[in-house]
Amino acid sequence: MAHCALILAGGMGSRLGYQEKALIDINGRPLISLVIEALEKTVDDVIISVRDGEQGELIDSRIPGYRFAYDDYKNCGPLAGILSGLSACGGEYCFVAACDMPFINEKSVRLLFRKCDGFDAALPRWDDGSLEPLHAVYKCEPMVRETRKAIESGETVILAPVFRLNVNYVSMEDIKNYDPELRTFMNVNTYEDIQQVMNKFEHVPQKIPGKRIS
């Protein structure tokens, strides 16, 4: 069964001075390339969701050859990117992540795909009940349907469509079996976070970003 991944890159990076978060330099590599590298170990196709053509061209100039999905709705936050990205996905299930999650654990991603079998979504849930909707697997057709309904009714909270789905909530204990420190959920929001990522990848051999579209 073909699996795809959607990387949401349309955010404005407000907490980092409105710089293009996907292209933050990590020892000579754009941040998003670290996310792609992890996901390409587990999925057959990677789609990058962007705000518009201008942002798509900018990212393509750094990591050429990937498919882009463009927001049809403005000022809807991540839901717009989820809608366009899942609509472009050719598989039945799709893992959705943000572009600033450089430590995604491929075994945890595979676990979520397994947990989504027979459900509309598989979402990690913390012990306090909070959820990780941007580190989750969705069945594309129902999530597209409910996301469109949410946007058109003025609901732009990212969990609005999720609560209309048949969800399998995945415990942190299950994920710790593959990622004991739960680093897979870490995202980059501060300059201190950037430095942490740079330290982690300081001695990792650089790969040439980009691929050919077959």
Distance CA 203, CA 173 (A): 31
Q: Is 205 within a domain?
A: no
In a domain, 209, yes or no: no
**Mean pLDDT of the 95-101 span:** 96
Q: How many domains does the chain have?
A: 1
pLDDT score of 211: 58
Encode pLDDT of 148-183 as tens digits: 999 999 998 999 999 999 999 999 999 999 999 999
DSSP per position, 95-112: EEEETT-TT--HHHHHHH
pLDDT in tens, 106-147: 999 999 999 999 999 999 999 999 999 999 999 999 999 999
Query: Across the chain, what does the average pLDDT equal?
Result: 90
> What tens digit of pLDDT does each residue of 70-92 get?
988 888 889 999 999 999 998 89
Strand (E) or helix (H) holding 21: none
* Alpha carbon distance 98, 94 (integer Å): 13
Other beta carbons within 10 Å of 193:
17
Average pLDDT of 176-205? 86
203 C-beta neighbours (distance < 10 Å), count: 7
**CA-to-CA distance for 10 and 74, rounded, in angstroms?**
11
E strand or H helix at 3, and its extent? strand 3-8
pTM of the model: 0.90
**CATH number of the domain within which 46 lies:** 3.90.550.10
* DSSP assigned state of 200: H
Domain with 99 in it: 3-199
Looking at residue 12, its pLDDT comes to 63
Whether 15 maps to a domain, the answer reads: yes
Q: Is the pLDDT of residue 204 over 90?
A: no
Distance CA 204, CA 198 (A): 10
Which of 106, 96, 90 is closest to 161 using CA atoms? 96
Q: What pLDDT is recorded for position 119?
A: 97
Q: Which residues contact 176 (CB under 8 A, 6 or more apart)?
A: 182
Which residues have a Cβ under 8 Å from the Cβ of 155 and sit 6 or more positions away? Answer: 161
Nearest to residue 63, comparing CAs of 92, 26, 17?
Answer: 26
For residue 16, what is the DSSP state? G
Q: What is the pLDDT of residue 210?
A: 58
Work out the pLDDT band at 193, boundaries 50, 70, 90.
confident
Q: Hey, what amino acid is at 141?
A: E
Asked, for residue 210, whether it belongs to a domain, the answer is: no
Is 24 part of any domain?
A: yes
Does residue 212 have a pLDDT over 60? no
Q: Is the pLDDT of residue 5 over 70?
A: yes
Indicate whether 206 belongs to any domain.
no
Q: What is the pLDDT of residue 208?
A: 47
- Reported as a pLDDT band with limits 50, 70 and 90, residue 213 is very low
| Position 32 in a domain | yes
Q: Is residue 71 part of a domain?
A: yes
- Contact status, residue 111 vs residue 89, Cβ threshold 8 Å: no
Structure tokens at 5: 């991944």
User: What mean pLDDT is predicted for residues 91-115?
Assistant: 96
Closest CA to 24 of 101, 134, 77: 101
